[in-house]
Amino acid sequence: MSDPLPTPAPVVEPAAAALMSRRFRGYLPVAVDVETGGFNVTTDALLEISVVLIDMDNEGMLRRGASHDFHVKPFDGARLDPASLAVTGIDPWHPLRPALPERDALQRVFREVRHAVRAYTCRRAIVVGHNAAFDLACINAAVGRAEVKRNPFHPFSCFDTATLAGAALGQTVLAKAILVAGLEWDAESAHSARYDAERCADLFCLVCNRLRDSHRGADERARALGWLSDAAEMSGDEPDSELPPL
77 belongs to a structural domain:
yes
Q: What is the pLDDT of residue 237?
A: 46
> In what helix (H) or strand (E) does residue 176 lie, and over which residues does it extend?
helix 174-180
| pLDDT (tens digit per residue) in 199-218 | 999 999 999 999 999 998 99
Catalytic sites, residue numbers: 191
- Identify the band that residue 242 occupies on the pLDDT scale cut at 50, 70 and 90: low
Q: How far is CA 192 from the centre of its chain?
A: 15
Q: Residue 241: inside a domain, yes or no? A: no
Q: Is position 2 within any domain? A: no
| DSSP assignments along 82-93, one per residue | HHHHHHHT--TT
> Is residue 240 one of the residues assigned to a domain?
no
Neighbouring CB atoms inside 10 A of 22's CB total 18
Count structural domains, the chain: 1
Which range marks the domain in which residue 190 is found?
14-234
Instruction: Assess if residue 245 is contained within a domain.
Output: no
Q: What is the pLDDT of residues 149-180, one digit of tens each?
A: 999 999 999 999 999 999 999 999 999 999 99
Position 218 in a domain:
yes
**CA distance linking residue 60 with residue 210, whole number of Å:** 11
**Domain CATH number, residue 28:** 3.30.420.10
Q: 159 — phi, psi (to 5°)?
A: -110, 120
Answer yes or no: is 40 within a domain: yes
| Within a domain: 244 | no
In degrees, rounded to 5, the angle at the alpha carbon of residue 47 between the alpha carbons of residues 42 and 51 is 100
In this prediction, residue 239 carries a pLDDT of: 45
